[in-house]
Chain A
Amino acid sequence: MSAAPVLERPAVEPHLDPALAAGEDVRPTGRRLGPGRRRRLAWLLGPAALLALWTLASATGLLDPRILSEPWTVVATAGELLADGRLQENLAISAQRAGLGLFFGIVVGALLALVSGLSRVGEALIDGPVQIKRAIPGLALIPLLILWFGIDETMKVLTITLGVFVPIYLQTHAGLRGIDLRYVELAQTVGLSRTAFIRKVVLPGAMPGFFLGLRFAVTGAWVSLVVVEQINATSGIGYMMELARTYGQTNIIVLGLAVYGILGLLSDGAVRFLERKALSWQRTLAG
């Protein structure tokens, strides 16, 4: 009896259950439909498994180092490049490009979403062009941007900005338009001014959408960065990898990929951290 699954109904003489007799807690705990309690660092499990698989495949010789360098070689390469300063230098310039592009993209996207979400004229003027921009792959604009701005930093930051502002705009706009009309009524009955309405109702109400957009935007910023750095750059992680390709240095290429991956993960984690802090009023499945 005591070994029976918790959900199974005791068939005979339930009062003789030894667990019950021992005073143990045998409440039939009904299955919760949510994903369960949040565990710290649980998100690291997947990446760690991937890393273990890679190590195992390299150690057993299943993976040819010419195809994909061994993890330890990549770590050693990272050490060398750090020692002569090349990694930090390229990382700094890459981070600067991504950061600037992200910053301008967030500002532009959020402002456009606000104007478009709060006025019909704004929506008529802004929403259409943004949807058209969305339909054009960001990379297809690069030839034009090179003609206009050359191949210096302006062009690189602008390419990233153009990739970033679209998801920020779309999600913030959707969040804004999704604000419950009942709150708008409430704002009227307590006599909120237009500014107070935006500050107290519109901005906080659009926050969940904005943060969703931000997560897309951060990933998008790194993607655009890779492209601009591999097409025409003389510095940055992408350039470092492109150079390594011409010399057949798989280890540096893989190191570059690992750096991009780590940057992407870290920045996504940072956004999620900010999101949890800013949206602590929400009660959701994510918990």
Chain B
Amino acid sequence: MAAHPGGLTAVATNAVSVRNLIRGFGPKGVLNGVDLDIAPGEFVALLGPSGCGKSTLLRALAGLDHDVKGSGVITVPDRVSVVFQDSRLLPWDSVLGNVTLGLREHDAESRARNALAEVGLAGREKSWPHELSGGEQQRVALARSLVREPQLLLADEPFGALDALTRIKMHGLLQDLVALHRPAVLLVTHDVDEAIALADRIVVLDHGRVATVRTVTPDVSTAVDAAGHEALRRDLLADLGVVGTSH
């Protein structure tokens, strides 16, 4: 799989465009000049070891880094949704209230009910968040982000706190939902297999820079091309500096 530098596609058609993004300066710099483009409907996974700046990049795109010093140019669409690692449901609001949070349209409630049905939680509208399992809470968070019909979905290790079985189910659910709503997606993860299973393109971040960019073909992603799948996995682990893995 050939690596190629990101940021060479046509700017005008992109959902996301990041140019020379710097956050923090000097030896403590978190992002040291990141360029990144995401096409509409494209699923990009941002992979990297802890502390490589991947969450910082996501927070910059989400507009959540008011207090951070930095420079660079960021273009994002109007409708951006964020899914956090914790489901971040308001504990004092019902499941339905959490999904409609901030919606101003008059049909907000019926849309929220549809979104909850899409994530398989029809009938749980009146529950309190604490009555749901961790996986169910994260599905509510997905419903909350998708009910806004985002052009860009930012997901910060959304399945990181879930057990392995629930995580696999959530991968399938996310794929279905993304196929249905077609947002551009930036998924931050440290899980190589998750990145391969979900993304069209994998960006590896290292020390605040884009280290490598690898595209994932459907055959590789689903391991129909088993050899390609294994090669990509090995390459990514090497990118991440993990050596001597026994797979």
Interface residue ranges, A against B (CB under 8 Å): 182-183, 185-192, 196, 200-201, 204-205, 207, 279-283
Contact = CB atoms under 8 A, between A and B. Distances in A.
A204 B88 contact: no
Interface string B64-84: 100000000000000011101
Chain A CB count within 10 A is highest, among B88, B144, B148, for: B88
Interface in B83-107: 84, 86, 88, 90-93, 101-102
28 contacts: A182-B84, A182-B86, A183-B88, A185-B64, A185-B84, A185-B88, A186-B84, A186-B88, A186-B90, A187-B102, A188-B63, A189-B62, A189-B63, A189-B64, A189-B80, A190-B101, A190-B102, A190-B148, A200-B93, A200-B101, A201-B90, A204-B90, A204-B93, A207-B92, A279-B92, A281-B128, A281-B130, A283-B130
Residue among B63, B84, B91 having the largest count of chain A Cβ atoms under 10 Å? B91
Interface in B118-162: 128-130, 144, 148
A217 B81 CA distance: 42
Given A190-B148, A191-B102, A283-B130, A200 B84 contact: no
Given A189-B62, A190-B102, A190-B144, A281 B91 contact: yes
**Could you tell me the dominant secondary structure of chain B's interface residues?**
loop
Contacts of B62: 189
Given A190-B144, A192-B101, A192-B102, A200 B64 contact: no
Given A189-B82, A190-B144, A192-B102, A200 B63 contact: no
Give the top 4 A-B pairs by smallest Cβ distance, nearest first.
A190-B102, A204-B92, A189-B82, A281-B92
Contacts of B128: 280-281
Contacts of A186: 84, 88, 90, 101
A183 B92 CA distance: 12
Contacts of B92: 204-205, 207, 279, 281
B95 to A, nearest CB: 11
Prevailing SS type, chain A contact patch: helix
A190 B128 CA distance: 20
Interface string B1-41: 00000000000000000000000000000000000000000
Contacts of B82: 189
A187 B40 CA distance: 25
Contacts of A282: 91
Nearest to A184: B64
Nearest to A197: B102
A187 B64 CA distance: 11
A281 B89 CA distance: 12
Contacts of A207: 92
A284 B102 CA distance: 28
B98 to A, nearest CB: 9
Nearest to B102: A190
Contacts of A189: 62-64, 80-82
A11 B115 CA distance: 57
Contact of A183 (B63, B80, B81, B90): B90
Given A185-B88, A188-B63, 13 more contacts: A182-B84, A182-B86, A185-B64, A185-B84, A186-B90, A186-B101, A190-B148, A192-B101, A200-B93, A200-B101, A204-B90, A281-B129, A283-B130
Nearest to A191: B102
Nearest to B63: A188
Contacts of B80: 189
A182 B90 contact: no
B102 A196 contact: yes
Contacts of A200: 90, 93, 101
Nearest to A205: B92
A223 to B, nearest CB: 31
A185 B62 CA distance: 10
Contacts of B101: 186, 190, 192, 200
A258 to B, nearest CB: 39
A186 B148 CA distance: 14
B117 to A, nearest CB: 20
A279 B130 CA distance: 13
Contacts of B64: 185, 188-189
Contacts of B84: 182, 185-186
Contacts of A187: 102
B102 to A, nearest CB: 4
A234 B101 CA distance: 54
A190 B146 CA distance: 11
Nearest to B86: A182
A201 to B, nearest CB: 7
A190 B129 CA distance: 18
Nearest to B141: A186
Nearest to A200: B101
A205 B81 CA distance: 23
A190 B144 CA distance: 9
A182 B130 contact: no
